[in-house]
């Protein structure tokens, strides 16, 4: 199986606090990988490392291509301090290709409109992000990720706190983009979402507990074991 991202002996964390310890794993290309584990297991940190926004303290991280990954977080801090509309936020996804000061091309604008349409937020284009519900805002952030047209899309619990309709829409869009050749990695606490992925990484206290096909990794015994383990000091 072709891999999209390779980690060998990778450790990472923050000032005076180690989070991930000696992870060696592969993220397969052209499918969805779910990252699962209890709170504090390092899911968000792993996404940050893959995205290149968190520096490793040991080991190596290698990408199949040199293209920048699109990283969708749960909340945009920018939206809290700037009067961004939904269209503004999604348009920011084109900055990596066009630069901040260059005018958008017709294709850029088409990509922005198509990304909003896929997430069902075209009618919200002129609304400010701060006025939106949590589900609407999250769909705008996913649309921003799509607008980057990256070959690797990273999402940190994209459906957390959303209603069933929004969750289903995001799941359908992610399935579509993998069919179009995008590799998706999403951290999730929803075990049903994880079981529908093509590959699964199970983390516990910064360690890679298991990886592989969800049906083989996320067994009832494994779930009972890992969520009942005592936390390390």
* Structural domain contains residue 106: no
* Structural domain contains residue 187: yes
Residues contacting 132, CB < 8 A, separation 6+ = 86, 124, 140
Tokens of 161: 């706190």
Domain count for the chain, please give it. Answer: 1
Q: Tell me the C-alpha distance between 44 and 27, whole Å.
A: 15
* Structural domain contains residue 118: no
Q: Tell me the C-alpha distance between 86 and 71, whole Å.
A: 17
* Structural domain contains residue 144: no
Q: Give 54-86 pLDDT, tens digit per residue.
A: 999 999 999 998 888 999 987 655 555 678 899
Total-model pTM: 0.91
User: DSSP per residue over 57-106, as a string?
Assistant: EEEEEEESSSSPPEEE-S--SHHHHS--BHHHHHHGGGHHHH-SSSPPPH
> Residues 200, 34: contact at Cβ < 8 Å?
yes
Residue 56 belongs to what domain range?
1-67+183-233
* Structural domain contains residue 126: no
Per-residue pLDDT of the chain (233 residues; tens, 9 = 90+): 799 999 999 999 988 888 999 999 999 999 999 999 999 999 999 999 999 999 999 999 999 988 889 999 876 555 556 788 999 999 999 987 776 667 889 999 999 999 999 999 999 999 998 888 888 888 999 999 999 999 999 999 998 878 888 889 999 999 999 999 999 999 999 999 999 999 999 999 999 999 999 999 998 888 888 877 554 44
* Structural domain contains residue 232: yes
* CATH number of the structural domain spanning residue 22: 3.40.50.300
Q: State the DSSP H helix or E strand holding residue 128, giving kind and residue range, or none if neither.
A: none
* Structural domain contains residue 83: no
């Amino acid at each position: 199986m072709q891999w999209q991202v390779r980690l060998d002996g990778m450790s990472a964390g923050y000032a005076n606090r180690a989070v991930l310890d000696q992870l060696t794993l592969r993220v397969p290309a052209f499918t969805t990988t779910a990252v699962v584990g209890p709170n504090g297991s390092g899911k968000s940190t792993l996404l940050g490392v893959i995205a290149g926004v968190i520096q490793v303290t040991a080991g190596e991280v290698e990408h199949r291509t040199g293209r920048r990954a699109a990283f969708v977080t749960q909340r945009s801090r920018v939206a809290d301090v700037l009067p961004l509309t939904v269209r503004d936020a999604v348009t920011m996804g084109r900055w990596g290709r066009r630069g901040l000061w260059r005018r958008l091309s017709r294709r850029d604008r088409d990509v922005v409109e198509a990304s909003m349409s896929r997430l069902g937020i075209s009618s919200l284009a002129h609304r400010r992000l701060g006025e939106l519900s949590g589900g609407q805002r999250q769909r705008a952030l996913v649309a921003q990720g799509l607008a980057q047209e990256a070959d690797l899309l990273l999402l940190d619990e994209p459906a957390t706190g959303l209603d069933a309709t929004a969750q289903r829409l995001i799941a359908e869009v992610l399935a579509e983009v993998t069919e179009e050749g995008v590799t998706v990695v999403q951290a999730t606490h929803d075990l049903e979402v994880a079981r529908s992925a093509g590959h699964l990484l199970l983390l516990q206290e910064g360690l890679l507990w298991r990886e592989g096909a969800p049906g083989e990794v996320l067994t009832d015994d494994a779930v009972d074991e890992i969520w009942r383990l005592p936390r390390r000091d």
